[in-house]
């Protein structure tokens, strides 16, 4: 077979309207739409090739992948083999340029890059819309990392219709995020388990689709008018509503620590007392991403470092789709 360049790079993304709950776990079909911003700077690069070994070979950051990573990746390879009626084993070489200190999940960029690389390896010639569906099967949020900038994942009703679409791949508004990673990390409840418990046991879950629909429409309007304060406020409201599902689950759980709450309160104070644009969004962990504007981020970073000397902070800008 002739040499093929299968190298693909995909960037991480952060949801401003959260995905929290699956209506079909096998296909990763979400209960609701979601909306995210793809970020610059942090990405995954993946290459793949067919090998004649008896086992798949999966490398992560220059080493054999740990068991959990191997299993999840192999499941995705099996899916692509099945779609292409192929039995051949595959070597995957993946490098995550997503430092743990940045507090970002690498599964979105990871499965988007893997889907892109396997699309080339199997010569599937998938469109970006079809790639979004494929990436979704690896990790829901990966569906959105196919595109740059603002991305809307439409929940859809089937494997072919649950996909992301770009809203604005090159946002002009001066938005940026400050990621704040606290040092004491509590035990992790993986997003799949957390969202499933919330979906099946929170008495408020039936409100969630209505909250998302109304936040999404307000968010699109705020993006269209480049209203950064509105974008931040809607994102923070939506994030807190998502976490309220976890606090009301049975048994209840929380990703927040004291530091998470302290920073949320400080942001409220800085907004009111210093007229700063600073809103929180938080995923399946205690760390906070502060939504702010580019000419205020240094001031906010200094304030955060002052209040949390142990925290690690990173500035993140809008980024591109897969390459």
Binding site for ligand PMV (CB under 6 A): 15, 18-19, 34, 105, 107, 139-141, 191-192, 283-284
Closest of 172, 162, 167 to residue 22, by C-alpha: 162
Q: How far is the CB of 297 from ligand PMV (least distance, A)?
A: 22
Tell me the C-alpha distance between 219 and 224, whole Å: 9
From the CB of 4, what's the least distance to ligand PMV, in Å? 28
Separation between Cα atoms, residue 271 and residue 166, nearest integer Å: 30
Q: Shortest distance, CB of residue 30 to ligand PMV, whole angstroms?
A: 8
Q: Which is nearer to ligand PMV, 90 or 105 (CB)?
A: 105
User: Hey, CA dihedral for 17, 20, 22, 26, is it positive or negative?
Assistant: positive
In the bound state with ligand PMV, the residue whose beta carbon lies nearer, of 14 and 276, is 14
> 6 or 107: whose CB is closer to ligand PMV?
107
The token duo for 230 is 């509105």
Q: Do 257 and 136 form a contact (C-beta atoms < 8 A)?
A: no
- Of 144 and 303, which CB lies nearer to ligand PMV in the complex structure? 144
Long-range Cβ contacts of 297-306 (<8 Å, 24+ apart): 297/176, 297/178, 300/178, 300/270, 300/276, 301/178, 303/266, 303/270, 304/178, 304/180, 304/263
Nearer to ligand PMV, 156 or 174 (CB): 156
| Shortest spacing between CB 205 and ligand PMV, in angstroms | 15
Instruction: Round to whole Å and give the CA distance between 6 and 181.
Output: 34
Q: Which is nearer to ligand PMV, 91 or 192 (CB)?
A: 192
16/182 with CB nearer ligand PMV: 16
Q: In the block, which residue shows the tokens 């408020």?
A: 204
- Paired with 49 in beta bridges are 91
Q: What are the start-end ranges of the H helices in the chain? A: 67-83, 107-121, 128-138, 191-201, 208-224, 228-247, 258-274, 297-307
State the minimum distance, in angstroms, from the CB of residue 300 to ligand PMV: 22
């Amino acid at each position: 077979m002739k040499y093929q360049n299968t190298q693909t790079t995909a960037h991480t993304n952060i949801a401003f309207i959260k995905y929290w709950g699956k209506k079909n776990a096998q296909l990763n079909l979400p209960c609701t739409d979601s909306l995210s911003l793809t970020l610059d700077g942090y990405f995954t690069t993946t290459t793949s090739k067919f090998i004649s070994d008896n086992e798949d070979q999966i490398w992560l950051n220059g080493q054999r992948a740990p068991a959990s990573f191997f299993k999840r990746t192999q499941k995705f390879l099996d899916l692509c083999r099945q779609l292409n009626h192929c039995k051949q084993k595959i070597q995957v070489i993946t490098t995550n340029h997503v430092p743990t200190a940045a507090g970002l999940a690498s599964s979105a960029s990871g499965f988007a890059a893997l889907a892109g690389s396997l699309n080339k390896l199997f010569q599937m010639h998938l469109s970006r819309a079809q790639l979004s569906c494929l990436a979704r099967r690896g990790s829901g949020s990966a569906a959105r990392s196919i595109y740059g900038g603002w991305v809307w994942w439409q929940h859809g009703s089937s494997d072919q219709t649950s996909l992301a679409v770009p809203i604005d791949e090159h946002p002009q508004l001066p938005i940026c995020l400050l990621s704040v990673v606290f040092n004491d990390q509590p035990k992790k409840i993986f997003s799949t388990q957390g969202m499933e418990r919330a979906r099946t046991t929170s008495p408020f879950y039936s409100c969630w689709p209505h909250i998302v629909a109304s936040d999404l429409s307000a968010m699109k309007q705020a993006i269209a008018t480049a209203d950064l304060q509105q974008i931040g406020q809607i994102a923070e409201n939506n994030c807190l509503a998502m976490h309220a599902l976890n606090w009301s689950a049975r048994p209840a759980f929380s990703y927040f620590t004291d530091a998470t709450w302290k920073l949320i309160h400080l942001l409220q104070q800085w907004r009111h007392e210093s007229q700063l644009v600073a809103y929180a969004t938080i995923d399946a962990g205690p760390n906070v991403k502060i939504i702010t504007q580019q000419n205020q981020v240094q001031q906010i970073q200094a304030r955060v470092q002052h209040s949390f000397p142990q925290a690690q902070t990173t500035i993140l800008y809008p980024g591109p789709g897969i390459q």
